[in-house]
Amino acid sequence: MKNAHPNKVLLVDDDKDILDLLRYNLQKEGYTVEVERKSTKSVETATKFHPDLIVLDIMMPKVNGIEICRQLRELPDFKNTYIFFLTAKSDKMLQTQALDTGGDDYIEKITGLRALTHKISTVLKNNLIIRKSIKEIKFENLRIDRATNTVYHRNKVVELPRDEFELLYFFAQNPQKAISSDSLLNNIWGSDIYIFSKSVDTYIASIAKKLGKKLISKVNDNEYRFEVMA
């Protein structure tokens, strides 16, 4: 169910220029935006503002974004609120820590500001799910293990390269939903990486071949759907 009010986004970052840029772009998209530069006040601001989605910078003075996320997830009102991390650091261990604390996604500042806007629209306007904190997705004959980036089909390991794994993982979180190629391109590869839409068809065909079953069908020229396995 959609909210009766415009979706609310809280931005927490000590960089004023980043905040101003994100606030401008998100307000253009119709969101109600609140910003907080002081990490020590972020939980208080979130409690008063009641955002639908929170963007946290990781590296901030006094209290970092990972600790803020941990504090928020301990509060009942923020158990299911989307939390995206935005950071200048490209660090896999830091990324893992951010997601283990309850973050839903991790976007690098150097290439990710437009990607962040796309991801926010994906979850708040298109009602798709992006929760990389979900460690495992199970269907009757399919198990996707996020912790090890491993896929099991009929209890056998299926080796998928990163792009195919991320594609399947995204579809599996949104079964039976028609997903546009633009959503796939922006949310998996990012707006600053140029991928032909035909590449999506190639990845989907490769996944079907490796699983021995076609799970993702083409709804029309621009949309795809993941069918729950029987």
Q: Class for domain 136-226, per CATH?
A: mainly alpha
pTM of the predicted structure, to 2 decimals: 0.87
Mean pLDDT of 149-154: 92
Cα–Cα distance measured from residue 4 to residue 220, given in angstroms and rounded to the nearest whole number: 31
CB 36 within 8 A of CB 60: no
pLDDT band at 229 (very low <50, low <70, confident <90, very high): low
Domain boundaries, the chain: 8-124, 136-226
Q: Which of 37, 184, 203, 31 is nearest to 115 (CA)?
A: 184
pLDDT tens, position by position, 7-42: 999 999 999 999 999 999 999 999 999 999 999 999
pLDDT tens, position by position, 89-104: 667 788 888 999 999 9
Q: What architecture is domain 8-124? A: 3-Layer(aba) Sandwich (3.40)
Tell me the Ramachandran region of residue 31: left when phi exceeds 0, alpha when psi lies from -120 to 50, beta otherwise. Answer: beta
